[in-house]
């Protein structure tokens, strides 16, 4: 494949950079918030994303009939990476997970109601798959949906739901057929201000909030069933492929890698330059090489997704596995090489790399879990690409 961007793509990337320069705001862009924390969770971030939507950039890959531009996925990739490079909010769940699934499987009503709002960034979503007994194995979810008139009544619990405390709608999977594991799950869209929903905070080691969400007789109309009843796990699997790529951008990894290289180039230990230490040089060289591998794996996903059809599953898992584990290795190396001072909190001016190593050390652990753990990605690759048996 050709790893060079076309002149048109370079022009678009330059246009995005100029736009970001014009809208630079420390309340919108924060480099210490990475990947899963790059969300639209404040009024200023929401307003900024509305401005992105006004440029027609939130639905670049969507069909023109629904307000998109019918452009290749590489433009979405360039936009998302540029936002991540600045520590800005990502195009996220609405455009990627929810919007693209509704486009493929949603009813005309859902398309009419939600797609225009997504393109204008007038609505935020939370995604509810994980449960206390169904984390990595989403097909084991137990949130119960029982038929009640021309709708469904939901009872149970979700956990690890980022965005539930500020989003308007919940994209949630529930069990509609207790007799079938994978063919018994249905996707619903539920308003989060429903009186039967209770949201309790969970604070992560990365200083970000996620949530427990409890359902107590929450009634949902058939109008808000996404696609076909009992086909939800198929839709969730497709959406997770998008999440594994779009929510784990490469730009922050490259940025932290550059930061480590600059620290090694300019710092000394006991009057000996770090750049002359053979062990340090070898470790940095390995990380730089692995960084290029992660970048190319990302581009390979973009190229595969441009062929149309469902998102490329194994490429998404390969990228997510490699990039997030590399991010963790890079954080570990930054802590090791910078020594005890690297434990100072992020933003400490006299800390090595201004404390960035400390914050990413905590964040990167979360990245290897969100969107499916590293172990899940290995299972997907082994079964779907290598053809190994399920219990291998």
Residues 350, 363: Cα–Cα separation, whole Å: 21
Last residue of a domain, one of 172, 198, 230: 230
pLDDT in tens for each of the 392 residues of the chain? 566 889 999 999 999 999 999 999 999 998 888 766 678 889 999 999 999 999 999 989 899 999 999 988 889 999 999 999 999 998 878 898 899 999 999 999 999 999 999 999 999 999 999 999 887 778 889 999 999 999 999 999 999 998 999 999 999 999 999 999 889 999 999 999 999 999 999 998 888 899 999 999 999 999 999 999 999 999 988 877 766 667 788 999 999 999 999 999 999 999 999 999 999 999 999 999 999 999 999 988 888 877 665 667 888 889 999 999 999 999 999 999 999 999 999 888 889 998 989 988 988 888 888 878 899 889 989 988 899 987 64
- On whether residue 236 sits in a domain, the answer given is no
Last residue of a domain, one of 72, 107, 124: 124
DSSP bridge partners of 163: none
Instruction: Looking at the structure, tell me whether residues 48 and 162 fall in a common domain.
Output: no
Residues 240, 225: Cα–Cα separation, whole Å: 19
Residues 87, 67: Cα–Cα separation, whole Å: 27
Instruction: Looking at the structure, tell me whether residues 377 and 348 fall in a common domain.
Output: yes
* Residue-number span of the structural domain to which 35 is assigned: 7-124
Instruction: Looking at the structure, tell me whether residues 76 and 104 fall in a common domain.
Output: yes
Instruction: Looking at the structure, tell me whether residues 286 and 315 fall in a common domain.
Output: yes
For the record, the structure tokens of 283 come out as 């470790």
Tell me what pLDDT residue 308 has: 60
Tell me what pLDDT residue 4 has: 83
Residues 354, 359: Cα–Cα separation, whole Å: 10
- On whether residue 318 sits in a domain, the answer given is yes
pTM above the 0.85 mark?
yes
Instruction: Looking at the structure, tell me whether residues 175 and 96 fall in a common domain.
Output: no
Question: How many CA atoms lie less than 13 Å away from 390 in the CB half-sphere?
Answer: 0
Tell me what pLDDT residue 372 has: 82
Residues 208, 229: Cα–Cα separation, whole Å: 34
DSSP bridge partners of 173: 187
Instruction: Provide the CATH number for the domain around residue 206.
Output: 2.40.110.10
Query: Which alpha helices (DSSP H) does the chain contain, by range?
Result: 7-22, 43-54, 73-85, 92-93, 100-105, 108-119, 232-246, 251-266, 278-305, 313-338, 356-367, 374-380
Closest to 211 (Cα-Cα) out of 167, 258, 173, 159: 159
- On whether residue 317 sits in a domain, the answer given is yes
Phi, psi angles (nearest 5°) of residue 282: -65, -40
Other beta carbons within 10 Å of 275: 15
- On whether residue 269 sits in a domain, the answer given is yes
- Give the residue carrying structure tokens 């939370």: 126
- On whether residue 392 sits in a domain, the answer given is no
Instruction: Looking at the structure, tell me whether residues 95 and 147 fall in a common domain.
Output: no
Closest to 321 (Cα-Cα) out of 378, 363, 364: 378
Tell me what pLDDT residue 38 has: 77
Instruction: Looking at the structure, tell me whether residues 334 and 372 fall in a common domain.
Output: yes
Instruction: Provide the CATH number for the domain around residue 371.
Output: 1.20.140.10
Residues 318, 296: Cα–Cα separation, whole Å: 11
Other beta carbons within 10 Å of 286: 12
Q: Are 158 and 203 a contacting pair, CB within 8 Å?
A: no
Instruction: Looking at the structure, tell me whether residues 87 and 111 fall in a common domain.
Output: yes
Instruction: Looking at the structure, tell me whether residues 188 and 301 fall in a common domain.
Output: no
Tally of domains within the chain: 3
Tell me what pLDDT residue 138 has: 80
- On whether residue 390 sits in a domain, the answer given is no
Instruction: Looking at the structure, tell me whether residues 34 and 111 fall in a common domain.
Output: yes
Last residue of a domain, one of 124, 140, 161: 124
- On whether residue 340 sits in a domain, the answer given is yes
Instruction: Looking at the structure, tell me whether residues 99 and 190 fall in a common domain.
Output: no
- On whether residue 297 sits in a domain, the answer given is yes
Instruction: Looking at the structure, tell me whether residues 297 and 378 fall in a common domain.
Output: yes
Residues 40, 235: Cα–Cα separation, whole Å: 24
Tell me what pLDDT residue 309 has: 59
């Amino acid at each position: 494949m050709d790893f060079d961007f076309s002149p048109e793509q370079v022009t678009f990337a330059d246009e995005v950079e100029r736009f970001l320069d014009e809208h630079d705001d420390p309340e919108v862009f924060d480099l210490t918030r990475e990947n899963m924390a790059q969300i639209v969770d404040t009024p200023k971030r929401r307003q900024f994303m509305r401005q992105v939507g006004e440029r027609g950039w939130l639905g670049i890959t969507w069909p023109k009939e629904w307000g998109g531009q019918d452009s290749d996925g590489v433009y979405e990739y360039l936009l998302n990476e540029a936002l991540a490079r600045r520590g800005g909010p990502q195009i996220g769940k609405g455009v990627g997970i929810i919007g693209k699934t509704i486009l493929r499987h949603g009813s005309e009503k859902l398309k009419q109601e939600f797609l225009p709002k997504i393109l204008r960034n007038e609505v935020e979503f939370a995604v509810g798959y994980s449960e206390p007994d169904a984390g990595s194995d989403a097909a084991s979810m137990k949130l119960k949906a029982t038929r009640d008139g021309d709708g469904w009544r939901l009872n149970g619990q979700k956990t690890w739901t980022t965005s539930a405390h500020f989003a308007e709608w919940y994209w949630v999977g529930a069990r509609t057929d207790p007799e079938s594991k994978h063919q018994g799950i249905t996707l619903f869209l539920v308003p989060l201000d429903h009186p039967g929903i209770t949201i309790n905070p969970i604070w992560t080691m990365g200083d970000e909030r996620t949530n427990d969400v409890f359902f107590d007789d929450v009634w949902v109309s058939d109008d808000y069933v996404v696609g076909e009843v009992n086909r939800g796990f198929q839709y969730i699997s497709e959406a997770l492929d998008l999440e594994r790529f779009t929510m784990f951008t490469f730009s922050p990894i490259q940025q932290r890698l550059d930061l480590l290289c600059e620290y090694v180039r300019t710092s000394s230990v006991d009057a000996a330059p770090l750049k002359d230490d053979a062990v340090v040089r070898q470790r940095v060289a390995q990380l730089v090489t692995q960084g290029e591998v992660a970048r190319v794996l990302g581009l390979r996903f973009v190229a595969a997704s441009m062929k149309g059809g469902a998102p490329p599953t194994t490429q998404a898992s390969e990228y997510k596995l490699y990039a997030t584990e590399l991010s963790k290795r890079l954080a570990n190396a930054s802590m090791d090489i910078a020594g005890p001072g690297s434990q100072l909190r992020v933003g400490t001016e006299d800390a090595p790399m201004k404390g960035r190593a400390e914050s990413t050390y905590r964040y990167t652990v979360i990245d290897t879990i969100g969107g499916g753990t590293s172990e899940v990605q290995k299972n997907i690759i082994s079964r779907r690409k290598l053809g190994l048996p399920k219990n291998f």
